[in-house]
Amino acid sequence: MNQLAINPNERIRILESDNSMMRDRLIILNQGLIESHKKLTQELNILASELKEVRSEISELKTLANNLLQDMAQFAKKDQVKTLEKYINLWNPLHFTTEQDVLRIIQEKRGVKHRSSSKAKNK
C-alpha cells in the first residue's frame, strides 16, 4: 500500500535516480573492461613477439644441431681410433732412432772393437 500512496512524480524521480545510478555503474564497468582489454591486448602483443623470438631461436638451434650432426659424421669412429691406436702401439714412434743415434751407436761399437782388439794385442 505504501507504494500506491506515492504519487507518480515521486515514482518517476526514484526510477530516474535508479536509472542514473545504473548508467554510472555501467560506465565504470565499461571503463574497467576497456582498460582490461587494452592490458590484455598489450600482453598478447608482447607474448606474440616473444613467441616469434622463441621460434627464431628454435630455428637457429635446429640449424646448429644439423651442422653439428654433419660435423660429427666426419669424426673418426671408435673402431677407427682403436685401429690407429694399435698401429701406433705397434710402431711405437717413441723408440724410433734418429740418424745421429745410429751414427753414435756405430761409433760406440767400433770403439769397443778397437779397444777389445788393442787389449788383445797388448796381452
Domain count, the chain: 2
Q: What is the pLDDT of residue 83?
A: 93
Are 50 and 92 contained in the same domain?
no
Q: Is 50 exceeded by the pLDDT of residue 1?
A: no
Same-domain check for residues 58 and 80: no
Domain containing 68 equals: 1-75
Listing DSSP states for the chain in one string gives: -HHHHS-HHHHHHHHHHHHHHHHHHHHHHHHHHHHHHHHHHHHHHHHHHHHHHHHHHHHHHHHHHHHHHHHHHTSPPHHHHHHHHHHHHHH-GGG---HHHHHHHHHHHHHHHHHHHHHHHH-
Output the pLDDT for position 115.
59
pLDDT digits (tens, 9 = 90+) for 26-73: 999 999 999 999 999 999 999 999 999 999 999 999 999 999 999 998
Q: How far apart are alpha carbons 20 and 12 in whole angstroms?
A: 12
Statement to judge: residues 34 and 65 lie in one domain: yes
Same domain for 55 and 99? no
Q: How far apart are CA 65 and CA 52, in angstroms?
A: 20
Distance CA 85, CA 70 (A): 25
Give yes or no: residues 5 and 58 share one domain: yes
25 and 8 in one domain?
Answer: yes
Across all residues in the chain, what is the average pLDDT?
87
More confident residue, 120 or 30: 30
**83 or 120: which leads in pLDDT:** 83
Residues 13 and 22: their CA atoms lie apart, in Å, by 14
pTM over 0.85: no
What confidence tens digit (pLDDT) does each residue in 63-110 have?
Answer: 999 999 999 989 989 999 999 888 888 887 777 778 898 899 899 988
